[in-house]
Structure 1
């Protein structure tokens, strides 16, 4: 083992490296950093010389981070998040407490808005700002402290806490239901898919004992509200959230050809839900920690 003391590489070289890994391009990184590609190349060379190893595989103008680079980028990302949170925390001293929350539009309208007043009672001085987005936001670029998103809890390296399972009902119009005698008949019908997940229908079909691949011509929708309207319009068979399905089933707009509660006995890992998602470092801010504690303790199943 060498007796030479360990020295961190220059911070600027690490910053340039982090940008290159995100863009997979020296030129794109240079554009973001407002420097020349040559300057970027020099910083990467300095970093590689300091570490004593190569970090990228160069194939013409295309570069790909190798295994060591991917591992290093993970730790640098965490370090930058920690530093950013520290700067944000100290610059907020003496100011009104701001919490930037981003939620999926469906969760915001169906669940969150009616309950936010309860949180305001626990922290009346909080400057709570709510935005909505279907996809997971960029916590840095979008200036988001905490997000609530639909999915399966697989947003590494972020912390994800399940708030509510989003059980779906298989629904279609009465006219479409006349074409369905068994689950196998679904293979011949248009299935309506959420853009956010390619696995939802395959998991449901497998649960029903149907062996079928999802057609590349399947119709996909960005949000739950559009999926619901498309199902009511007769465009195909949809997977509708229980709370919405109840309304349309009572009105006769839709029917459940296989009965209710199809997903209730599926493996938990196959059922999507709404998750509280945030970088772990954000919990070190007392206001954000208080919001997370409140939202995790709410019983969201009681609509």
Structure 2
């Protein structure tokens, strides 16, 4: 009988590959693994012989990943992450019911905290730890189980589920708003970005027919809350989340000079949102899976009373 069972490479060879890919250097991989560069090279050669695939091209002391290495690296990285998570779960009893959730600061204050009692009712025995970071965490390094992140569903290597679209409203103080009659008038003022790197203003201006026009002045902030305060302080024109914009407009602090709905028909790919994001393997842990079920079952568009 023919044995069709896949022959897996030795663990040491995979560890050497994992380190070499991350550092793009055999010497740096050797330093991390506390072995000699020759030992790393031997393990990489063993891996290539086992798989019958060329993973690197050698150029003197430098190495360059092949397409096969790029593909394999994604799965090896996920495998080591799952292995580390499994070891942590079964060897550290204090982690048995602990769940560490990272949440976008805006989502935490506006949506999650008002509903925290719902979570407690559904999972009374869980030890929930919550952190807030704007950037997507390194799940292995930061010891994060799952996250709610703001973005455009760019997490291709992770499991991502859309929870809520974050529609923006072009807003400014009434004094600035009185000088804006057409979309082109926006270009006369400072445009305030809610994040250091994003495409929201360029997408909005292109949608309004101004994609080829030069912007006179821009300021980027680290988070949406700071940008909103800058908008309220007449520093420029902001892209404010709809819930906040409505509250500020009702209070008379801001106006929507081009209308509340001017960006409603933006292409869906240009509208950011809040996503539940986690490594696929984390869903296999019962408590994390249950928390995921609760998060995805909530109607986040409904404002808690």
| Same fold per superposition (TM over 0.5) | yes
- Say which SS state the counterpart of residue 253 (structure 2) adopts: coil
Taking structure 1 as reference, are residues 28 and 261 closer, same or farther at Cα in structure 2, changes over 3 Å only?
Answer: farther
Output the CA distance in 1 between the equivalents of 2:31 and 2:216: 36
Taking structure 1 as reference, are residues 216 and 3 closer, same or farther at Cα in structure 2, changes over 3 Å only?
Answer: farther
- Say which SS state the counterpart of residue 301 (structure 1) adopts: coil
CA deviation after TM superposition for structure 1 residue 63, in Å? 3.6
Output the CA distance in 1 between the equivalents of 2:152 and 2:197: 9
Taking structure 1 as reference, are residues 252 and 94 closer, same or farther at Cα in structure 2, changes over 3 Å only?
Answer: closer
Output the CA distance in 2 between the equivalents of 1:255 and 1:133: 30
CA deviation after TM superposition for structure 1 residue 245, in Å? 1.3
Aligned position for 1:198? 198
> Tell me, which stretches of 5 or more residues in structure 1 are unaligned?
none
- Say which SS state the counterpart of residue 115 (structure 1) adopts: helix
CA deviation after TM superposition for structure 1 residue 52, in Å? 3.5
Q: Summarize deviations over 1:70-100 as a string: whole Å, max 9, x none.
A: 0111221232233234323433669641111
Output the CA distance in 2 between the equivalents of 1:201 and 1:296: 29
Count residues in correspondence.
Answer: 302
Tell me whether 1:74 sits opposite 2:82 in the alignment. no
Aligned position for 1:133? 133
Aligned position for 1:260? 260
Root mean square deviation, CA, Å: 2.6
CA contact (8 A) 1:231 1:237 kept: yes
CA contact (8 A) 2:26 2:62 kept: no
Aligned position for 1:39? 39
CA contact (8 A) 1:189 1:237 kept: yes
Output the CA distance in 1 between the equivalents of 2:74 and 2:107: 30
Matches within 5 A, 1:264-303: 264-303=264-303
Aligned position for 2:222? 222
CA contact (8 A) 2:187 2:215 kept: no
Q: Summarize deviations over 1:189-224 as a string: whole Å, max 9, x none.
A: 321223365321122122222223676973211111
Q: Which stretch of structure 1 is more off in the superposition, 20-29 or 225-234?
A: 20-29
CA deviation after TM superposition for structure 1 residue 59, in Å? 4.8
CA contact (8 A) 2:160 2:276 kept: yes
Aligned position for 1:102? 102
Taking structure 1 as reference, are residues 297 and 6 closer, same or farther at Cα in structure 2, changes over 3 Å only?
Answer: closer
Q: Which stretch of structure 1 is more off in the superposition, 151-160 or 55-64?
A: 55-64
Normalising by structure 1, we get a TM-score of 0.89
Normalising by structure 2, we get a TM-score of 0.89
> Tell me, which stretches of 5 or more residues in structure 2 are unaligned?
none
Taking structure 1 as reference, are residues 196 and 44 closer, same or farther at Cα in structure 2, changes over 3 Å only?
Answer: farther
Tell me whether 1:171 sits opposite 2:171 in the alignment. yes
Taking structure 1 as reference, are residues 249 and 89 closer, same or farther at Cα in structure 2, changes over 3 Å only?
Answer: same
CA contact (8 A) 2:190 2:216 kept: no
Output the CA distance in 2 between the equivalents of 1:271 and 1:137: 22
Output the CA distance in 2 between the equivalents of 1:40 and 1:193: 46
Taking structure 1 as reference, are residues 192 and 144 closer, same or farther at Cα in structure 2, changes over 3 Å only?
Answer: same
Taking structure 1 as reference, are residues 217 and 258 closer, same or farther at Cα in structure 2, changes over 3 Å only?
Answer: closer
- Say which SS state the counterpart of residue 301 (structure 2) adopts: coil
